[in-house]
């Protein structure tokens, strides 16, 4: 069918359709996309892709693959760098649309988050260029390690930070020589639709980078089940990760998964308590919808009262409000369904006998805000300690010794991140090494070097993103072993 009309959002004209083989493609069926800033604000009716759309997109990626794979890293890098420049140019517009779509604070989007999209493409253009394969001699042969582009790649992303996470995953896939079908989450599809306009403007060959819209269980499931797809890269919940894992297993398609988190934020008595309390209160940023957040606050028993008072005071200074307002520090949650899920966790905690230290209710009835909430669990087995809530709800526990702190920190099935506050370098190294987590920050948070590995232990994920780790995943690694021809060769 012909394209749907574009919609005007926050001063930008945004397509509601898929982007396949270099052109917009519409689906007859649509789904509603509403703004968490005001649930009565219907942003757009978005094309709802199905199995036929998935087939079209995979076919485009299959057809485009040989020519894209045949380009050198430097040639592919030129497209990625052009796209990065265009993202920089349109950063402000993308930020405003993403703010309307998923309600992260406009200022963070404008100043940090969207710009990271450009950095992702630039970083991977450069990393792929410098890889020319290790080679060495042994057993009288020359061993050459080559990275061969793996093939059409499906990337599926969640609704929190949709632009940043989608670019973080697609950049290495494209840089490695793969063609891509990206499916963003149905709760925040708009910034990725804007990315499609920039892909067209950057002049990517048709079919190299496709973006489709729709519901996970429909088009998402069709994409990951297609045997022509040679890599699947997923970020989302462990529950969906398991479903996708089963689907890709049937085709033996290599799969990475960046899943949920339940990170500890550990504060030792020797720490800068003001800095640590501020860090703890900042875990309510983005309404706690951050996979890496340290959501289990655990403090040394001797500083319990003083720390709690500091954290309470800083938390009270948070301003709940419209994410477009520069004074707001806590945005609404993404969706009424997700708000109800978070409420359910707190209600069950109450019924379980866990102590609500502060918060524990909606901010007001007519919006999607939930008050910053702190819960002292009855025991470490409480559901609020053991399961990811993905909202502004933290738990508060104490420990007496370093060993007890480590045992508590490592006591969930997750292992995405850990945060330690201490002034002791020896303790930082000891505890940091003992934590079962993909990334551990000491006296800081969210500081990232894009070349470092990123991923989760346990149910927080499979595989690693970042630097060469991602380029290896998106490649078929080959060993080419050449023995120089002599008259005795093969003798
Ligand atoms: P989700 O698992 O519900 O959905 C993620 C994506 O999967 C969406 O695009 C959805 O449409 C798609 N999907 C759903 N069912 C599918 C199926 N059967 N087949 C194919 N695709 C399907 O997750 P969410 O609610 O969007 O995101 C929140 C979760 O993501 C949290 O658990 C959070 O911790 C996690 N997350 C992890 C990281 C990380 O880097 N580890 C980063 C951000 C978010």
Q: Are residues 241 and 300 in the same domain?
A: no
Q: Are residues 314 and 387 in the same domain?
A: yes
Rounded to the nearest angstrom, the distance between the alpha carbon of 427 and the centre of ligand 1 is 35
Give dist(CA 146, CA 451) in Å, integer. Answer: 20
Whether residue 400 is contained in a domain is answered as yes
Whether residue 484 is contained in a domain is answered as no
CATH number at residue 272: 3.40.309.10
Q: Count Cβ atoms below 10 Å from residue 27 Cβ, excluding itself.
A: 22
Q: Is the dihedral of CA 102, 105, 106, 108 positive or negative?
A: negative
- For residue 285, give its domain range: 263-442
The total number of structural domains in the chain stands at 2
Q: Are residues 91 and 11 in the same domain?
A: yes
Q: Are residues 292 and 213 in the same domain?
A: no
Give dist(CA 417, CA 392) in Å, integer. Answer: 17
Give dist(CA 410, CA 407) in Å, integer. Answer: 5
Q: Are residues 207 and 256 in the same domain?
A: yes
Whether residue 305 is contained in a domain is answered as yes
Q: Are residues 98 and 149 in the same domain?
A: yes
Q: Are residues 249 and 195 in the same domain?
A: yes
Known catalytic membership, residue 258: yes
Return per-residue pLDDT of the chain as tens, 491 residues. Answer: 889 999 999 999 999 999 999 999 999 999 999 999 999 999 999 999 999 999 999 999 999 999 999 999 999 999 999 999 999 999 999 999 999 999 999 999 999 999 999 999 999 999 998 876 788 999 899 999 999 999 999 999 999 999 999 999 999 999 999 999 999 999 999 999 999 999 999 999 999 999 999 999 999 999 999 999 999 999 999 999 999 999 999 999 999 999 999 999 999 999 999 999 999 999 999 999 999 999 999 999 999 999 999 999 999 999 999 999 999 999 999 999 999 999 999 999 999 999 999 999 999 989 999 999 999 999 999 999 999 999 999 999 999 999 999 999 999 999 999 999 999 999 999 999 999 999 999 999 999 999 999 999 999 999 999 999 999 999 999 999 999 888 765 54
Whether residue 450 is contained in a domain is answered as no
Contact (Cβ atoms closer than 8 angstroms) between residue 420 and residue 410: no
Rounded to the nearest angstrom, the distance between the alpha carbon of 158 and the centre of ligand 1 is 4
Marked catalytic residue, from 98, 106, 218, 258: 258
Whether residue 218 is contained in a domain is answered as yes
Q: Are residues 11 and 145 in the same domain?
A: yes
| Nearest protein CA to atom 22 of ligand 1, as residue | 216
Marked catalytic residue, from 99, 106, 192, 291: 291
Q: Are residues 344 and 211 in the same domain?
A: no
What's the angle, vertex CA 462, arms to CA 283 and CA 380, rounded to 5?
A: 45
Ligand 1, CB within 6 Å, residue ranges: 156-160, 165, 183, 185-186, 216-217, 220-221, 224, 235-237, 240, 243-244, 258-261, 291, 388, 390, 416, 456, 461
Whether residue 451 is contained in a domain is answered as no
SS3 447: coil
CATH number at residue 147: 3.40.605.10
Rounded to the nearest angstrom, the distance between the alpha carbon of 259 and the centre of ligand 1 is 7
Whether residue 311 is contained in a domain is answered as yes
Q: In angstroms, what is the C-alpha Rg of the chain?
A: 24
Give dist(CA 462, CA 154) in Å, integer. Answer: 16
Q: Are residues 150 and 218 in the same domain?
A: yes
Q: Are residues 13 and 135 in the same domain?
A: yes
Q: Are residues 354 and 471 in the same domain?
A: no
pLDDT of residue 181: 98
pLDDT of residue 134: 82
SS3 305: helix
Give dist(CA 14, CA 191) in Å, integer. Answer: 9
Whether residue 98 is contained in a domain is answered as yes
């Amino acid at each position: 069918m012909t394209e749907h009309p574009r919609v005007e959002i926050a001063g930008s004209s945004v397509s509601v359709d898929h982007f396949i083989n270099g052109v917009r493609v519409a689906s007859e069926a649509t789904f509603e996309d509403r703004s968490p800033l005001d649930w009565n604000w219907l942003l757009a009716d978005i094309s709802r892709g199905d199995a036929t759309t998935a087939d079209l997109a995979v076919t485009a990626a299959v057809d485009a693959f040989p020519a894209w794979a045949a380009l050198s890293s430097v040639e592919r890098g030129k497209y990625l760098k052009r796209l990065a420049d265009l993202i920089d140019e349109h950063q402000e517009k993308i930020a405003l649309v993403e703010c309307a779509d998923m309600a992260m604070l406009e200022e963070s989007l404008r100043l940090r988050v969207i710009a990271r999209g450009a950095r992702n493409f630039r970083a991977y253009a450069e990393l792929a260029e410098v890889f020319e394969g290790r080679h060495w001699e042994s057993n009288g042969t020359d061993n050459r390690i080559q990275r061969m582009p793996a093939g059409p790649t499906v990337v599926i992303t969640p609704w929190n930070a949709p632009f940043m996470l989608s670019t973080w995953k697609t950049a290495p896939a494209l840089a490695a020589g793969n063609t891509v079908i990206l499916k963003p989450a149905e709760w925040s599809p708009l910034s990725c639709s804007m990315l499609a306009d920039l892909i067209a403007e950057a002049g990517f060959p048709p079919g190299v980078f496709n973006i489709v819209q729709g519901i996970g269980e429909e088009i998402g499931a069709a994409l990951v089940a297609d045997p022509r797809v040679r890599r699947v890269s997923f970020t989302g919940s462990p529950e969906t990760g398991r479903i996708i894992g089963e689907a890709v297993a049937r085709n033996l398609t290599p799969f990475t998964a960046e899943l949920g988190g339940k990170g500890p934020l550990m504060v030792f008595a020797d720490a800068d308590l003001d800095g640590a309390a501020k860090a703890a209160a900042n875990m309510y940023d983005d309404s706690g919808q951050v996979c890496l957040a340290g959501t289990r606050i655990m403090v040394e028993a001797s500083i319990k009262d003083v720390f709690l008072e500091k954290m309470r005071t800083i938390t009270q200074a948070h301003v709940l409000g419209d994410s477009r307002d520069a004074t707001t520090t806590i945005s609404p949650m993404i969706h009424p369904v997700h708000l109800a899920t978070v409420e359910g966790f707190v209600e069950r905690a109450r019924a379980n006998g866990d102590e609500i230290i502060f918060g524990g209710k909606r901010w007001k009835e007519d919006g999607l805000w939930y008050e910053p909430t702190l819960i002292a669990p009855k025991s470490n087995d409480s559901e609020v300690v053991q399961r990811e809530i993905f909202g502004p709800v933290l738990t508060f526990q104490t420990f007496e010794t370093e060993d007890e702190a480590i045992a508590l920190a490592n006591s969930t099935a997750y292992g995405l991140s850990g945060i330690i506050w201490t002034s002791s370098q020896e303790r930082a190294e000891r505890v940091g090494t003992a934590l079962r987590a993909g990334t551990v920050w000491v006296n800081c948070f969210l500081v990232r070097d894009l070349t470092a590995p990123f991923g989760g232990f346990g149910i927080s994920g499979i595989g690693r993103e970042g630097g060469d780790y991602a380029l290896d995943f998106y490649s078929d690694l080959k060993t080419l072993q050449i023995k120089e021809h002599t008259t005795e060769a093969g003798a």
